[in-house]
Amino acid sequence: MIRTGLTAHRGDASRAPENTLRAFRLALELGVDWIETDVRRTRDGRLVLLHDDRTGRTCDLDLVVGEATWAELSGLDAATEFRKRHRLDVEACPKEPIPLLEEALRLLASHPATRLSLQPKDDCVPEILRAVQAENAADRVGFNDGHLERLQQARRALPGVPVFWDRGPSDPIRSDVAIAAAHGFQAIVLHDSLAAAPLADAIRQGGLEAGLWTVNDPLALAQWRQSGFTRFYTDDPAAMIQKSRDDSLAHFARRPEIIGHRGCSAEAPENTLPSIRLAWEQQADAVEIDVTLTRDRDILAMHDHTPKRYTGIDRLPGDLTRAEFESMDFGAWKEKRWAGTKPAFFDEILATIPPGKRLVTEIKAGPEIVPALATAIQRWGGDRDQVVFIAFSLEVMKEVRVALPGHECYWLLDFRPEGDGWAPDYREAIATARTLGFSGLDVGTRGPYDAFFAEAIRSSGLGLMVWTVNDPETARRFIALGAHGLTTDKPGWLKNALRGG
């Protein structure tokens, strides 16, 4: 499961004490692929998450984990070292208990896009497996370690479980590739001192993913990705994700994305598969669609509140089932040649996305649609970078950030004249977007667009998309303002027009 390519090493250990639930929650908000954690067994058989065999490095009292009971360990403050290192007080960095494995499994249960990579620090694989089965979490975990026998033990008990074999500078990497492949492991993860393209090639030629631990330099991450590594353990996932987004924005500043509005809606019936496929044929970089929820909780692509404009039927989508919509003609209203075109559903549209292209999904329903979106994306199994969410509703966007971490989210704004200026105030909107962790703003073509606006967007680090741009002059004006995405009814035509300019 590679989406961001990032495994948060002991959680987000740069912003919270390692191996604590707080560090795990911060990593989940970022949408990492995996959270790696260390598992140890107490004297009374409880499984705790702690890297060292003693508590002294991270906690306020030095105990041997295997000789202490859970009652003794549960009272320790696992934030002690982090607080001292960062010169924080208890108010800024509250006390954190050592977590139990079962607590982490339950935390990740509500975040299906991220899994827990378990490193057994003791000979406790059978106990770990029992805990995983008790929490019904077999599909949410993997195992990583340098200890071959422990990994084999996990793999035998759970044949489908992902296994990542950690290898260091003294290990025979090339012969290890054959061993890992024979055991059905998923990846070999090298110490970062071994980062080199030939080793990455050897691992990939063995049918395995090539990874590195522990990578905390964003520039090195970009370099090693080019060398063929795809899985990275990091203590600082926030910096790594920000660097990836900065690189993406810099790329689009040179060549903005052309986004087909409801597909190629100037030529084909909007939000239908023919319109979407036509946009891909015209080499659109992305397609924008609108989604709402049917009565049987399927996700329909439709812009209006009802299908009346397309079909003459004036009923809310929540009153109709998928089967009822599939019996409708969504094409004849556009032109006779499109008669018989059926409405499109989210699962069908996801399946059309070509490699390297993106789907910009405008949510027309309320927060109740978000669980259905999360389920559909999990079943699809593609790259989360390929699905972007936009909405006017802050409530909806907040839900998306929680349920679909790692997906880009843009807040839709439609500026309106008010007095001598525009509402809402773009400075307040930018501040809100940053506070809520959005990727940027998606704005209409009317608004307070001047040099001050451009500087505010640039300095905020937010992205800027614009709708709906159907002429090259407007496109060039927004490109000059820093827009990296232009939504248009005519993606092929606009692309050609901009090339000509």
Residue range 255-500 in CATH 3.40.50.300:
no
CB 228 within 8 A of CB 197: yes
State the 10-residue block means of pLDDT for the chain, 501 residues long.
Answer: 79 97 93 94 98 98 98 98 96 97 94 89 97 94 97 94 95 95 95 94 93 92 88 93 69 77 98 98 97 97 97 97 98 97 98 94 97 93 89 95 85 95 95 88 96 87 93 92 94 89 48
pLDDT at 247: 67
Look up tokens 């707080």; give the residue.
Answer: 22
Map 190-245 to HEC letters.
EEHHHCCHHHHHHHHHCCCEEEEECCCCHHHHHHHHHCCCCEEEECCHHHHHHHHH
Alpha carbon distance 288, 432 (integer Å): 24
Please identify which residue in the block is written with the tokens 């977590």: 99
Annotated domain spans of the chain: 6-236, 255-500
Res 1: pLDDT: 43
* Beta-carbon contacts of residue 372 (< 8 Å; ≥ 6 apart): 293, 297, 298, 299
Q: Count the residues in the chain.
A: 501
Give the separation between CA 169 and CA 148, rounded to whole angstroms: 16
292 — phi, psi (to 5°)? -145, 180
- Are 6-236 and 255-500 equal in CATH topology? yes
Q: What is the domain class of 6-236 according to CATH?
A: alpha beta
- For the full predicted model, state whether its pTM sits above 0.75: no
257 Cα distance to chain centroid: 20
Q: Which long-range contacts (CB under 8 A, 24 or more apart) does 274-283 make?
A: 274/331, 274/338, 274/341, 276/344, 276/349, 276/352, 277/352, 279/491, 279/492, 280/352, 280/354, 280/357, 281/492, 282/491, 282/492, 282/495, 283/491, 283/492, 283/495
